[in-house]
Structure 1
Amino acid sequence: MNTILNPQQKDWSKILERPTKTVDDIEGTVNEVFTDIQKNGDIAVARYTKKFDGVSLDSNLVSAFEIKEAIDAVSEELKEAINFAKENITKFHTAQKTKKVFVETTNGVSCWQEKRPIQKVGLYIPGGTAPLFSTVLMLAVPAQIAGCKEIVLCSPPNKEGDIHPAILYTANLCGVTKIIKVGGIQAIAGFTFGTETIPQVYKIFGPGNQFVTVAKQLATKHGVAIDMPAGPSELLIVADDSAKASYVASDLLSQAEHGADSQVILVSTSKELIKKVEEEIEKQIKELPRLEIAQKAITNSKSIFVENDKIALDLINEYGPEHFIVCTNNNNFYIDNIENAGSVFIGNYTPESAGDYASGTNHTLPTNGFSKSYSGVNLDSFTKAITFQEISKEGIQNIGRSVEIMAATEGLQAHKNAVTLRLNDLK
């Protein structure tokens, strides 16, 4: 990791740059795939699956037989772990349900708001070097709790034309209604336009690489909503001498092994801790099966020394981390004042891995600074809030004059007339 001492605030934006390509580098490719799939449907999807995933499929739909095979292939130990995580995720997201909001704003004027599920949702589950069956839990569980009618899952096939058994097992467990072997840009384009086998959806969820992130953003131009721009994973830890260096190093490495374009940052008021953490990283990284990936991510990462907690907090809010671990003598200062973070992990015994899998919070979070304006996935992500109002004779008489004046002032005579006619009938 690159160590930076007391950087000046004017240099923070440069220091905190993510190791990602610009949209301009990617958008041309994404547009090309979108146009092709919009025009040619499954024929184009099959072509891109062969090009990007290296496999030709007779069918990209996962069959009931394949799901049964996957259920048999997953060990009982893993099934128990997945079910344990599902229980906690279900508890946390069920607790997010809100009651109908009802207010009589004026005598005779009743207004209320109710949540309704999004009918058709598309879940994108990355495959690649790590089959993220945990993300199936994070997306399908709240979709099921919300009451979404169609829950469609796309995930890229491996070279044998299969999806990892744990992904299929988890999808089946969580009520996914259709599973399709397609990944990357072509999956997002399929969700956006619909093909012979991929249903068009109203909202797309799920993380992915930079191409998937740009594809999701492009989908919004075609009237499909997305959860958030979720790209390569990132973690920022603020720690001082109260933190255990081996724990801090393990957390940094746990995020670094996600991908070569991941980024991890340590911010500390202790030069001694930075030194110890770097020594621990050198020691622990050698034992990782994904050593090469982690090493590449670590080269994009930084240790930043600052003089005090206030400077640290300002720098962290400027960065807006996806995952934020707080391990200091002054945790409450950070907890009370953090403004930009996807998910916060507090203390020596709260590894980011817990939130990735089984504590109950959602791990689908905004990256690349989008935590400044986006929330992570939650139950509300799968619902819409619909407002209702009902006005009695007394109510229209109470608010009618105000509506008439405002409509007339805006020059909208028909708006005024809609009220005036009713008021005249009540005279």
Structure 2
Amino acid sequence: MWSAVDVETWVSRRTSRLDAVHGPVQEIIEKVRLGGDAALIELSEKFDKVHLDTIAVDEDAREAAYEQVDARITECLVEAEVRISRFHELQLPRGLWLNEIEPGITLGVKTTPLSRVGAYVPGGRAAYPSTALMCTVPARIAGVPEICCCSPPPIQPLTLVALDIAGVHEIYQCGGAQAIAAMALGTETIDPVDKIVGPGNVYVTAAKMMLREYAEIDFPAGPSEIAVIADEGAVAAYVAADILAQAEHDPHAACLLISTSAALAERVGADIKKQAEHAPRKDIIAQALKNSGYIVAEDLAEAVAISNAVAPEHLSIQVADPLPVLGGIRNAGAIFIGPYTPVACGDYASGTNHVLPTAGYARQYSGLDVHHFCKTSSVQILTREGLDSIGDIIETLATAEGLTAHARSVHVRRQEKTGNRKSNSGC
């Protein structure tokens, strides 16, 4: 259950296996492309064993969901939403900035929210209201005017309540690859979106990757994973608890301890066995632990190198002096420092986002944030003086490339007589 692994084996286990489901996912995409709503209803019966009379969730269903959710849970969702909003508001870029970098040349950036985004919230083994908040609150903070959400039927009341708290009222009972196809391509009921965010299984992830021609995505996000860098002084029970917290997500979850102490690795293994014995999801944990293990590093520098090679979704640093270790980390979705910072804080209520790249994709991608829901346009304003200062460069390079009309578009302005030139005082 708990044994040593080498980094190559662990990385190979986490490699995305999207090719294996390419064929079935392509069939689902084509069904939705050709059949629209009817295909979604048919696929819901096939995969979710649910017959749908309607795909859209109406206001009555959202309001009724509150009656099925404990009031204290609703209060906690509201409190979590406040914290998630607070953190993501700190990320808001300026709508427009302009700097005169030299006389007559002003440059800047205009930031604009996307017009319409879709969020996928998984269902199945459990309700994930926290994911509903994580996927949609940053979009709302960014200023996206249209946010829709798909989740497998029947949508859990907890999920509906969370989406209502987040301010999302366009909700559809639709799961799996077919939901991604519906949001990317559109159906009679679901309008197509500009971008799709949210985690899911390998079918969902494959569909997101295959439909990027139609809708951009956040990043590939699959089964959960954690790496823990720990030294001899780490509390074994805390490390074990963090590992089990990720292991209970999914049979395909993976957990890695990177420690400078073989003795600590053994203590962690003993604590995992003890804590898992009476865990309600112990069967799932047992499967996930088959994908897990530990590596003993010679020192913290090697531990950091191993972690960067793994590029984990979650990285917990539990060492005596964590800041130098943090400084060396290049690849991690989210980082949790110290014995009193369990990953669960970021999953629910610290305010950071728990939608993160997995399977080594933290090498290329950042976790979900406000910037995923914005796009930028560069802005330039030149006066006659500014154009004169760079005109020779432009004309020379444009002529060298054979683009004489480019060169002339500058030349004609520079040769214009002052008396014939309209005022450009607005610049």
TM-score surpassing 0.5?
yes
The letter for the 1-side match of 2:149 is: L
Task: Write the distance in 2 (CA, Å) between the matches of 1:398 and 1:331.
Answer: 50
* Corresponding position of 1:421: 412
* Corresponding position of 1:230: 221
Gaps of 5+ in 2: 419-427
Deviations 1:86-134 (Å, cap 9, x if unpaired)? 1111111001112233222332121111211011000000001021110
Task: Write the distance in 2 (CA, Å) between the matches of 1:230 and 1:329.
Answer: 32
2:207 alignment partner, one of 215, 221, 226: 215
Give the 3-state SS of the residue equivalent to 1:229 in structure 2: coil
Within 5 Å, give how 1:22-421 maps onto structure 2: 22-99=17-94, 100-157=96-153, 162-220=154-212, 222-421=213-412
Give the 3-state SS of the residue equivalent to 1:151 in structure 2: strand
Q: CA deviation at 1:366?
A: 0.6
Q: CA deviation at 1:24?
A: 1.8
8 Å contact kept, 1:202–1:225: yes
After superposition, the Cα gap between the structure-2 partners of 1:275 and 1:371, relative to the gap in structure 1 and judged at 3 Å, is same
Give the 3-state SS of the residue equivalent to 1:204 in structure 2: strand
The letter for the 2-side match of 1:119 is: S
Give the 3-state SS of the residue equivalent to 1:296 in structure 2: helix
8 Å contact kept, 2:16–2:359: no
Cα RMSD for the two superposed structures: 1.4
8 Å contact kept, 1:252–1:264: yes
Deviations 1:293-326 (Å, cap 9, x if unpaired)? 1110011111111221111111110000000000
The letter for the 2-side match of 1:43 is: A
8 Å contact kept, 2:256–2:292: yes
8 Å contact kept, 2:81–2:165: no
Task: Write the distance in 2 (CA, Å) between the matches of 1:23 and 1:145.
Answer: 32
Q: CA deviation at 1:223?
A: 3.0
Q: CA deviation at 1:426?
A: 3.8
Give the 3-state SS of the residue equivalent to 2:130 in structure 1: helix
Q: CA deviation at 1:196?
A: 0.8
Q: CA deviation at 1:136?
A: 1.2
Task: Write the distance in 2 (CA, Å) between the matches of 1:67 and 1:113.
Answer: 40
Task: Write the distance in 1 (CA, Å) between the matches of 2:372 and 2:361.
Answer: 16
8 Å contact kept, 2:2–2:269: no
Task: Write the distance in 2 (CA, Å) between the matches of 1:397 and 1:282.
Answer: 74
Give the 3-state SS of the residue equivalent to 2:56 in structure 1: coil
8 Å contact kept, 2:14–2:360: no
8 Å contact kept, 1:217–1:229: yes
8 Å contact kept, 1:342–1:365: yes
Task: Write the distance in 1 (CA, Å) between the matches of 2:160 and 2:268.
Answer: 38
Give the 3-state SS of the residue equivalent to 2:107 in structure 1: strand
Give the 3-state SS of the residue equivalent to 1:362 in structure 2: coil
Task: Write the distance in 1 (CA, Å) between the matches of 2:142 and 2:120.
Answer: 18
After superposition, the Cα gap between the structure-2 partners of 1:330 and 1:16, relative to the gap in structure 1 and judged at 3 Å, is farther
Give the 3-state SS of the residue equivalent to 1:265 in structure 2: strand
After superposition, the Cα gap between the structure-2 partners of 1:81 and 1:213, relative to the gap in structure 1 and judged at 3 Å, is same
The letter for the 2-side match of 1:124 is: Y
Q: CA deviation at 1:20?
A: 6.0
TM-score by length of 2: 0.95
The letter for the 2-side match of 1:152 is: C
Q: CA deviation at 1:397?
A: 1.9
Task: Write the distance in 2 (CA, Å) between the matches of 1:209 and 1:25.
Answer: 13
8 Å contact kept, 1:19–1:261: no
Give the 3-state SS of the residue equivalent to 1:3 in structure 2: coil
Give the 3-state SS of the residue equivalent to 2:351 in structure 1: coil
Task: Write the distance in 2 (CA, Å) between the matches of 1:287 and 1:187.
Answer: 36
Give the percent of matched residue pairs that are identical in Structure 1 and Structure 2.
39
8 Å contact kept, 2:17–2:202: no
The letter for the 1-side match of 2:67 is: D
Give the 3-state SS of the residue equivalent to 2:3 in structure 1: strand
8 Å contact kept, 1:152–1:199: no
The letter for the 2-side match of 1:72 is: E
Range with bigger deviation, 322-331 or 106-115: 106-115
Gaps of 5+ in 1: none
Task: Write the distance in 1 (CA, Å) between the matches of 2:297 and 2:392.
Answer: 60
Deviations 1:172-219 (Å, cap 9, x if unpaired)? 111113000000100000011000111200000000011111111011
Aligned length: 417
Q: CA deviation at 1:21?
A: 6.1
Deviations 1:51-84 (Å, cap 9, x if unpaired)? 1101110001101110010122221111111111
Task: Write the distance in 1 (CA, Å) between the matches of 2:16 and 2:87.
Answer: 35
Write out the 4+ residue segments of structure 1 that deviate beyond 4 Å after TM superposition.
none
